[in-house]
Amino acid sequence: MTNIKGPGIFLAQFMGDTAPFHQLDTICAWAKSLGFVGVQIPSWDPRCIDLQKAAESKTYADEIKGIVNAAGLEITELSSHLQGQLVAVNPAYDALFDGFAPEAVRNNPTARTAWAVQQLEYAAKASRNLGLDAHATFSGALLWHTVYPWPQRPTGLVDTGFTELAKRWLPILNKFDEVGVDLCYEIHPGEDLHDGISYEMFLEKVGNHKRANLLYDPSHFVLQSLDYLAFIDYYHERIKMFHVKDAEFNPTGKQGVYGGYQNWIDRAGRFRSLGDGQVDFKSIFSKLAAYNYKGWAVMEWECAIKHPETGAAEGAVFIKDHMIRVTEKAFDDFANTGSDEAFNKRILGIQ
C-alpha cells in the first residue's frame, strides 16, 4: 500500500481579481498558509498559467513549477475541464458553451472543437514539461440531452454518439500516451461520461486505451444516488485522480434527482463544504489506501452556503484528518512463530 498525497486544493473556484487570489504566487502562499501542500491548476486561467507556452517551453514550465515550489507546494495536476467540455458539444448547447471558448471561435462549432483539441494536446505536453503523470478533464457531451429516454431514442443513437465521441478523443489519448500522462475524465452529470456504464461504453470504443482513466469525485455520485464506494471496487485500477468534494441528497415529496429547475441552494441535491454533506470519506480513504491509490487527495470546493475561504480552511484540516498512514506490517506479527516449507507441510499433514 502507498500513502495518499495531500492535502491539495483545486484553484479554479478560488481565483479572483483581488489579492491574494489574482495571481499564482500569492494564491499559492495563501493555500500554504492553510495547510495545503499541493495545488491543482486550471489551465484555462491566464492568471495561473499560459498553457501553450508551458507546452512549448520547458524553461517556462520550470518557471511555473518554481513559483509553486517557492511557496512550499507541489503541482498536483493541470485541469482542462472547460476545454475538454468543448471537444464534444451538442448543437443544443452551442450558445451556452461558447462562453468557454475564445471570441475568435465562437459561433463556429467546427473551429471551437479544433481549438479544444489543440488545447488538450498542449495540456499533454505541458503536463510532461511540468513532470506530472495525470491530467484532469471532461469528456464533453453529444448525447446528454437524451439522458432521459423521452422522446424515445432512435435505434442506434447511443452507439453512434459514443462512436463519434471516441473518434474525437482517441487521437488526444494517443498524444497523452506519447508523453506518458494519464488522461482522467471526471465522471459528471452533463457529460456523456456520467456514470460507470457510460464510462465502460466509451472505454470499449477507444479500445480500452490505457490512458483513458478516471478522476474520482464522490459528490457527483451522491447526487445521482449511485453507490460511490462500490464504484471504487469496480474501477480502482483506472482511478488516477481524486477530488475530495462533499454533497448531500435530500429528496422530498416535491423534488428529487432532477431538482425542479431550482438554483443550487434550493435543490434536493447540492454540493457542500467538506464535512457538511453526506459522503462517507472515512470509507473512501480506506478503500483507496487498500487499493494502493498513488495519487493526490485534492479538495474541490463548491458549496451554496458556506464562504469559500472558510471552506478552504476547514477543508485542509478535514483532508489531513482523513489521510491514512498505511501500515508496513501486519498487526499480528508479534505472534508470528516463524515458518519454513517443512514446518508448513507438517502442519498440513503432508508427507
- pLDDT for res 343: 85
The pLDDT of 231-249, averaged and rounded, is 98
For the stretch 173-195, pLDDT in tens is 999 999 999 999 999 999 999 99
The pLDDT of 160-174, averaged and rounded, is 98
147-161: b or e for each residue (b if 16 or more CB lie within 10 Å)?
eeeeeeeeeeebeeb
Share of the chain above pLDDT 90, in %: 92
Indicate whether 72 pLDDT > 70.
Answer: yes
For the residues of 217-235, what is the DSSP string, one character each? Answer: -THHHHTTT--HHHHHHHH
Residue 9: CATH number of its domain = 3.20.20.150
* 162-165: Cβ within 8 A, 24+ apart: 162/192, 162/201, 162/202, 162/205, 163/205, 164/88, 165/88, 165/139, 165/140, 165/192, 165/202, 165/205
Q: How many domains does one find in the chain?
A: 1
Q: Which of 345 and 258 is assigned the larger pLDDT?
A: 258
Residues with Cβ within 8 Å of residue 213, at least 6 apart in sequence: 134, 182, 183, 184, 185, 238, 239, 240, 241
Question: In sequence order, what E strands does the chain have?
Answer: 5-10, 38-42, 74-80, 134-137, 182-186, 212-216, 239-244, 246-249, 269-272, 296-299
Indicate whether 277 pLDDT > 90.
Answer: yes
DSSP summary character for residue 89: B
Structural domain harbouring 246: 5-348
For the stretch 11-57, pLDDT in tens is 999 999 999 999 999 999 999 999 999 999 999 999 999 999 999 99
